[in-house]
Amino acid sequence: MDTTLQDPLVGQVLDGRYRVDARIAVGGMATVYRAVDTRLDRVLALKVMHPALAADTSFVDRFIREAKSVARLAHPNVVQVFDQGTDRSYVYLAMEYVAGCTLRDVLRERGALQPRAALDILEPVLAALGAAHRAGFVHRDMKPENVLIGDDGRVKVADFGLVRSVDTVTSTTGAVLGTVSYLAPEQIEQGMSDARVDVYACGVVLYEMLTGDKPHEGGTPAVILYKHLHEDVPPPSAAVPGMAYELDALVAAATARNPEIRPQDAVALLGLARDARAGLDETQLDALPPQARSAERDIAEDRTSVIPRSLTVPRPLPVHSMDDEEPAGPGEDPMNRTSRFAAEPPLPPSPRRGPSRPRRGVLAIIAAVLLVLGVGAGVWYINSGQFTKVPAVLTQPQERAEKRLESAGLGVGKVSHAFSDTVKRGTVISTDPAPGARIRGNDSVNLVVSDGPETVKVPDLKGSRLDKAKELIKADGLEPGLVTEEFSDDVIKGFVIGSDPEAGTERRAGSAVALVVSKGSPVDVPDVTGQDLDDARSELEEAGLTVEVSADEVTSEFDRGQVAKQSLEPGAEAGEGDTVTLTLSKGPEMVEVPDVVGSSVDDATSALEDAGFRVEEDRGLLGLFGDTVKSQSVDGGDTAPKGSKITITIR
């Protein structure tokens, strides 16, 4: 049935500002509603203290202390408190509304998590608690119910309702506040609550994420408390063979029974967690967890309770179970009140009381009420009767995801497939509606299943023009890579000879494909320097080369209009159709010839070479032993092309 309809606060406006729309959770001290801030027009969570407790000054003080302490923690991983106030008998906190689920929801749905996922959740939790510890506060009630996981993946710590100064020793009329499965030994035995109790609780939460089970379980809270005092938290590898040693060590450090050897606060534990992650390889981080156990859990173990001090002292068992609680007072909801567990031997019934209800009957009634209302104290999100939430089935195999949906009373709608580089083939990439979304019972959920990384075959590109080959590569989901050129007698210049990887090879989408393009058949470059332009062009084109003429001309030994230079060296290999650029001569530079007649051979040679001429000697028979220049081929004072030859006659 829809319990929201029976809540008198739904539909009211508190403090003339907060319109209460729906009840979303019930805890031991307060009820949480979804509300709208009518001034700022935003959705928020309204935490309203139970009216019966609002008359208790100590509870009201604790409530206000939560508002003030959390308001000081401006941290992205802490649920923010916006406002605190009182309206008639209602004391409330206006808080950030987080759409998503709790870590408890995740553990109930999936059981143990992969180490990577566990650390991804633990680290922001420790960051949030570290901010609280450094600000001078301790949470004192860390458990999966108080870890919120938003639909956007953000992790936030909620419910600082038990927050106190780190220097304060808890003394609640001889009782210990907290949740039995996550209480540190010093909380149980001495009532000590410094930052190390949060460290211990986080170690227990990490153990539960890695194994899917709590380290200490028992038939009654008293048994669990006894184990916290006298038994170490076992290493996760004892429950999950093959678990990395670094994770065992991290849990052992956080859950040391002696607080003196625990990390001093969440900041120190965060450092150890990051060191542990750094010591794990990808295989260890992504190790598959054991099969999820049954979602049925002992609700009493997950409740924030007030434990009488007498119970915290080690005693021989047996002790009383939950069935020995006093009945609820007039008008008190037995589910919502703070639980008390007695450790003393049972006393005879008081004559003023009516006959005691049989234990089995009490348990049956409590179970029936819990079953009807669907309420577990401390759980943040509760679905109304006609709605449910889409289970978290992401990264699960398709068959398991479909069974999970069916077990939640939902149908499996359209199943489509998509490629994914990060999600394993055959597992769920996404759902519509998204995980955690409200959905009517019996509605269907569409699944998108991974086909793994997208792979495509490299197309056959041989003989394709380069620009066309690039288009084909992109059309198949690949990318053109490095282009190199080679000579080929078979493939025309500018067309593809082959590719790397070869045609038909499977590659991941987006991979690069290198191309080898033909330079055509090899051609020996002829020497055309000194030729007239027309003759040079004809010879080069007959060889299969293309001719271009440079706009610049140079002085050279060749006559004006003849080829002075060519861009490809004579005798080099070129591809068919390659371009040879010719530079024409504008004629030689004319230089005045020195007069060297009568000079010695050495002096004459030096003077002519310095002027830019080449020197040739003509000795004849009469000049074999002579050393004097008798004449020169160009008279001194005349001009001759620079670089031309001057002959000197020696007698």
Respond yes or no on whether the N-terminal peptide bond of residue 318 is cis (omega within 30° of 0): yes
Total count of residues recorded for the chain: 651
Neighbouring C-beta atoms of residue 481, cutoff 10 Å: 14
Residues 3-33: pLDDT tens digits? 445 788 998 999 999 999 999 888 777 889 9
- List where CATH 3.30.10.20 sits in the chain: 387-450, 455-518, 522-585, 590-650
Does the pLDDT at position 572 exceed 50?
A: yes
CATH number for the region 1-97 comes to 3.30.200.20
Flag the least confident range among 174-183, 274-283, 541-550, 636-645: 174-183
pLDDT band, very low/low/confident/very high, at 300 (cuts 50, 70, 90):
very low
Q: How far is CA 404 from the centre of its chain?
A: 26
CATH number for the region 99-322 comes to 1.10.510.10
Cβ atoms of 67 and 84 closer than 8 Å: yes
Does the pLDDT at position 167 exceed 90?
A: no
Rounded to whole angstroms, how far apart are CA atoms 307 and 170?
12
Rounded to whole angstroms, how far apart are CA atoms 265 and 166?
10
Cβ atoms of 34 and 97 closer than 8 Å: yes
User: What average pLDDT does range 335-357 have in this prediction?
Assistant: 33
Cβ atoms of 382 and 25 closer than 8 Å: yes
pLDDT band, very low/low/confident/very high, at 623 (cuts 50, 70, 90):
low
One-letter amino acid at 155 equals V
- List where CATH 3.30.200.20 sits in the chain: 1-97
pLDDT of residue 386: 54
Nearest partner of 389 among 400, 379, 399, judged by Cα: 379
Neighbouring C-beta atoms of residue 518, cutoff 10 Å: 24
Q: Domain 522-585 belongs to what topology? A: Trypsin Inhibitor V; Chain A (3.30.10)
pLDDT of residue 66: 65
pLDDT of residue 190: 79
Beta-ladder partners of 387: 440
Flag the least confident range among 315-319, 355-359, 450-454, 522-526: 315-319
3.30.360.10, 3.90.800.10, 3.30.10.20, 3.10.20.30: CATH of 387-450: 3.30.10.20
Beta-ladder partners of 445: 412
pLDDT band, very low/low/confident/very high, at 291 (cuts 50, 70, 90):
low
CATH number for the region 455-518 comes to 3.30.10.20
Cβ atoms of 370 and 417 closer than 8 Å: no
Residue 141 bears catalytic tag:
yes
Beta-ladder partners of 506: 457
Neighbouring C-beta atoms of residue 164, cutoff 10 Å: 20
Cβ atoms of 428 and 393 closer than 8 Å: yes
Three-class SS of residue 640? strand
Two tokens at 162?
Answer: 């038990």
Nearest partner of 325 among 297, 357, 298, 354, judged by Cα: 357
Rounded to whole angstroms, how far apart are CA atoms 328 and 341?
14
Rounded to whole angstroms, how far apart are CA atoms 145 and 204?
13
Cβ atoms of 90 and 51 closer than 8 Å: yes
Q: Which of 21, 105, 141, 194 is catalytic?
A: 141
User: What average pLDDT does range 505-518 have in this prediction?
Assistant: 87
Rounded to whole angstroms, how far apart are CA atoms 460 and 469?
9
Most confident of 24-38, 53-67, 250-264, 432-446: 250-264
pLDDT band, very low/low/confident/very high, at 578 (cuts 50, 70, 90):
confident
In this predicted model, which residue has the larger pLDDT, 374 or 604?
604
CATH class of the domain comprising 590-650: alpha beta
Does the pLDDT at position 467 exceed 90?
A: yes
One-letter amino acid at 123 equals E
Interacting residues of 226 by C-beta distance below 8 A, sequence separation 6+: 218, 314, 317
Does the pLDDT at position 324 exceed 50?
A: no
Cβ atoms of 269 and 134 closer than 8 Å: no
- Residue 379 is given by DSSP the state -
User: What average pLDDT does range 209-237 have in this prediction?
Assistant: 89
Beta-ladder partners of 430: 448
User: What average pLDDT does range 140-152 have in this prediction?
Assistant: 90
User: What average pLDDT does range 41-66 have in this prediction?
Assistant: 81
pLDDT of residue 537: 94
Neighbouring C-beta atoms of residue 66, cutoff 10 Å: 23
pLDDT of residue 294: 38
**Most distant CA pair in the chain: distance in Å?**
162
Does the pLDDT at position 474 exceed 50?
A: yes
pLDDT of residue 290: 64
Q: How far is CA 116 from the centre of its chain?
A: 11
Flag the least confident range among 316-320, 484-488, 504-508: 316-320
Neighbouring C-beta atoms of residue 133, cutoff 10 Å: 24
Rounded to whole angstroms, how far apart are CA atoms 126 and 602?
95
Residues 379-437: pLDDT tens digits? 333 333 457 888 888 888 999 989 989 888 899 999 998 887 667 888 898 899 888 78
Question: Given the DSSP bridges, would you call strands 438-440 and 411-418 parallel, antiparallel or unpaired?
Answer: unpaired
Rounded to whole angstroms, how far apart are CA atoms 606 and 612?
10
Residue with tokens 């008998």: 89
Two tokens at 470?
Answer: 């690039």
Rounded to whole angstroms, how far apart are CA atoms 19 and 12?
6
Backbone angles phi, psi at 580, to 5 degrees: -115, 120
State the distance between the two ends of the chain, measured CA to CA, in whole angstroms.
136
Nearest partner of 143 among 89, 202, 195, judged by Cα: 202
Does the pLDDT at position 138 exceed 90?
A: no
Two tokens at 246?
Answer: 């670094």
Report the share of the chain in percent with pLDDT over 70. Answer: 80
Residues 96-108: pLDDT tens digits? 999 888 999 999 9
User: What average pLDDT does range 359-365 have in this prediction?
Assistant: 41
Flag the least confident range among 185-199, 287-301, 517-531: 287-301
Does the pLDDT at position 517 exceed 90?
A: yes
- List where CATH 1.10.510.10 sits in the chain: 99-322
| Averaged confidence pLDDT in the chain | 79
Nearest partner of 30 among 9, 53, 14, 11, judged by Cα: 53
Cβ atoms of 28 and 303 closer than 8 Å: yes
